[in-house]
């Protein structure tokens, strides 16, 4: 393959509990431990298929490591000195070459690529997989739409090892969107054998079984307890991974996860409380890496279709009542970037994330609440994802205490992680905290997902504003056209509008915090914030 040509084209297109170590370790045990990476986390996947209904964030990790995509990203040096995905540069995965034209992009597939069951990967599998992604609805279909990938007719089989993607419109997000988790390539014949008339895409089968060609395959999954993955020895879409086996255990107690790390019984954990990460870094016994989420914030969302949050003054009152600095100090221990306290006078830069012009001002919050017709406050519920309780619970307790100062009485609603995405998408929760991080690191991509009135997935506040939709569409069009001045005007416009209408209140830009044994190396930061097992090495 002409790698230089590939990169040139791509660059242009982008314009439970733990088990203690035994007292006596035999050589066989030591060898097995050396070949196994043990990960502990608070919660695990609820679905092995990224196209599944309500697949949670841990489910992304399985899909990323068990399925291939046509292309992926090159690495660069990140803000903490670690490898970090380069949004502008791409590399081959299942495609060994790509040819870009004005109206389409054509991919040549590796002829020796096979699925986990040994079946060859063909262009028909790629088309079926892309057809599935744009047709199943929900998150996968909206993700594809974010890159103007919307119709099965766009995906054309040229021959057994050549697939063409036709463009609907100029969109700088199209090629990057082919490198995210959703357009994964699935063993179509295997899945079709396990599909039914009621489930033509075989979602029930792929919920519990992996059907990919990726570097790892799931050999055992006990929901809520453990996932076991084995290396695919026939993988040809990259360098053979160094670690043969991954055991990923769900250990709900943060204290137990920390103890497992400190004893050396676990190799990696990435969702400890921030206080633990600070203390572990100071002890210098583990490798601790902290990286800001790319294109991501944690926010308080309010359902704007239901009283009292249908009133902008109520939403602004809540924004002035949030105890921002207390959250930074008491819940985050400084391991996040503040998204509050910007100077008034409008947005100055066409960037995202950026701080909102709100600070804690209880007097102003009370006045706004009175103007909105709620001088004595009201009662509501404040919901969070229990799968990430380490941050969410202290944040909610601090918000609850502060809202009480202006008369808003909140009952905290803890939703199990396996159910969170489903409950979020029902759009019935009046007040909640959540994290959203845009896979494509562009402001218009974030806003398409979170503020566009047509988006039924992550516009979790049910917010609709025709001017907002116009500004987002304008940014996408001017970015594709290379009109920098018009693009920046649109971006500033939609950020300003988001801050004044405030359907969601930015709190902070979280950090991905990883704790690893010092003999584990190769960690890479990816847009999806999950582990890439393929690059990890255990000495």
Residues 141 and 205 in one domain: yes
Question: What is the predicted pLDDT for the residue at 418?
Answer: 87
Q: Does residue 523 share a domain with residue 448?
A: no
CATH number reported for the structural domain that contains residue 108 in this entry: 3.40.190.10
Q: What pLDDT sits at residue 388?
A: 87
Please report whether residue 465 resides in a domain: yes
pLDDT for 15: 43
Q: Say which CATH number the domain at 507 has.
A: 3.10.105.10
Residues 6 or more apart from 235 whose CB is under 8 A from it?
213, 214, 215, 241
Check if the beta carbon of residue 228 is closer than 8 Å to that of residue 200: no
Question: Is 443 within the bounds of a domain?
Answer: yes
* Structure confidence at residue 30 (pLDDT): 55
439 is a domain residue: yes
Q: Which residues of the chain have pLDDT under 50?
A: 1-4, 6-8, 10-27
- Considering the domain architecture, whether residues 372 and 403 belong to the same structural domain is answered as yes
The range of the structural domain enclosing residue 157 comes to 3-251+517-538
Question: C-alpha angle with apex 413: 407 to 415, nearest 5 degrees?
Answer: 155
pLDDT of residue 158: 98
Same domain, 237 and 308: no
| 91 domain residue, yes or no | yes
Tell me how many domains the chain contains. 2
User: What pLDDT score was predicted for residue 24?
Assistant: 40
Q: Are residues 460 and 505 in the same domain?
A: yes
Could you tell me if residue 280 is inside a domain? no
Same-domain status, 32 and 146: yes
Q: Based on the domain organization, do 502 and 521 belong to the same domain?
A: no
Q: Looking at the structure, do residues 390 and 498 belong to the same domain, yes or no?
A: yes
pLDDT of residue 271: 79
The pLDDT value recorded for residue 31 is 62
pLDDT the model gives residue 236: 97
Please check whether residues 194 and 310 belong to one and the same domain: no
137 & 239 share domain = yes
29, part of any domain: yes
- pLDDT for the residue numbered 17: 32
My answer on whether 208 and 313 are in the same domain is no
* Separation between Cα atoms, residue 301 and residue 182, nearest integer Å: 25
- In the structure, how many helices (H) and strands (E) does the chain have? 18, 20
Q: In angstroms, rounded to a whole number, what is the distance separating the alpha carbons of residues 107 and 93?
A: 11
pLDDT of 246:
97
| 395 domain residue, yes or no | yes
Q: Are residues 465 and 336 in the same domain?
A: yes
Does 199 map to a domain? yes
């Amino acid at each position: 393959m002409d790698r230089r040509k590939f990169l040139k084209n791509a660059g242009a297109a982008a314009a439970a509990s733990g088990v203690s170590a035994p007292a006596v370790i035999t050589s066989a045990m030591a060898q097995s431990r050396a070949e196994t990476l043990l990960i502990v986390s608070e919660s695990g996947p609820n679905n092995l298929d990224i196209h599944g209904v309500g697949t949670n964030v841990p489910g992304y990790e399985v899909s990323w490591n068990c399925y291939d995509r046509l292309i992926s990203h090159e690495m660069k040096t990140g803000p903490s000195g670690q490898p970090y995905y380069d949004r502008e540069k791409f590399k081959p995965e299942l495609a060994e070459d790509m040819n870009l034209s004005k109206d389409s992009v054509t991919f040549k597939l590796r002829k020796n690529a096979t699925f986990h069951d040994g079946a060859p990967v063909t262009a028909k599998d790629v088309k079926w997989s892309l057809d599935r992604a744009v047709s199943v609805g929900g998150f996968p279909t909206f993700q594809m739409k974010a890159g103007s990938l919307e119709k099965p007719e766009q995906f054309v089989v040229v021959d057994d090892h050549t697939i063409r993607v036709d463009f609907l419109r100029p969109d700088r997000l199209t090629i990057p969107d082919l490198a995210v988790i959703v357009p994964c390539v699935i063993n179509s014949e295997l899945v079709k054998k396990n599909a039914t008339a009621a489930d033509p895409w075989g979602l029930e089968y792929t919920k519990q079984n992996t059907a990919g060609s990726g570097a790892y395959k799931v050999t055992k999954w006990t929901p809520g307890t453990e996932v076991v993955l084995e290396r695919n020895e026939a993988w040809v879409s990259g360098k053979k991974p160094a670690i043969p086996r991954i055991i990923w255990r769900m250990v709900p107690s943060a204290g137990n996860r920390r103890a497992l790390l400190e004893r050396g019984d676990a190799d990696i954990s990435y969702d400890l409380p921030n206080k633990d990460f600070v203390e572990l870094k100071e002890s210098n016994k583990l490798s601790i890496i902290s990286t800001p989420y790319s294109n991501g914030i944690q926010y308080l969302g309010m359902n704007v279709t239901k009283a009292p949050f249908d009133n902008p003054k109520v939403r602004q009152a809540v924004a002035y009542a949030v105890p921002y600095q207390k959250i930074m100090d008491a819940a985050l221990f400084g391991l996040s970037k503040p998204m509050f306290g910007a100077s008034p006078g409008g947005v100055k830069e066409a960037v995202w994330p950026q701080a909102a012009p709100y600070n804690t001002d209880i007097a102003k919050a009370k006045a706004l609440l009175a103007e909105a017709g709620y001088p004595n406050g009201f009662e509501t519920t404040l919901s969070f994802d229990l799968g990430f309780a380490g941050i969410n619970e202290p944040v909610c307790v601090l918000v609850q205490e502060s809202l009480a100062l202006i008369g808003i009485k909140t009952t905290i609603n803890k939703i199990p992680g396996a159910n969170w995405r489903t409950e979020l998408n029902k759009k019935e929760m009046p007040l909640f905290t959540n994290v959203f991080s845009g896979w494509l690191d562009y402001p218009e991509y974030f806003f398409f997902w979170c503020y566009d009135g047509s988006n039924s997935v992550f516009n979790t506040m049910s917010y609709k504003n025709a001017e907002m939709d116009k500004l987002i569409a304008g940014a996408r069009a001017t970015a594709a056209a290379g009109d920098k001045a018009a693009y920046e005007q649109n971006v500033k416009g939609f950020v300003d509008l988001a801050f004044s209408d405030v359907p969601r209140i930015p709190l902070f830009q979280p950090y991905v915090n990883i704790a690893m044994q010092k003999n584990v190396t190769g960690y890479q930061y990816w847009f999806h914030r999950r582990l890439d097992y393929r690059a990890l090495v255990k000495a």
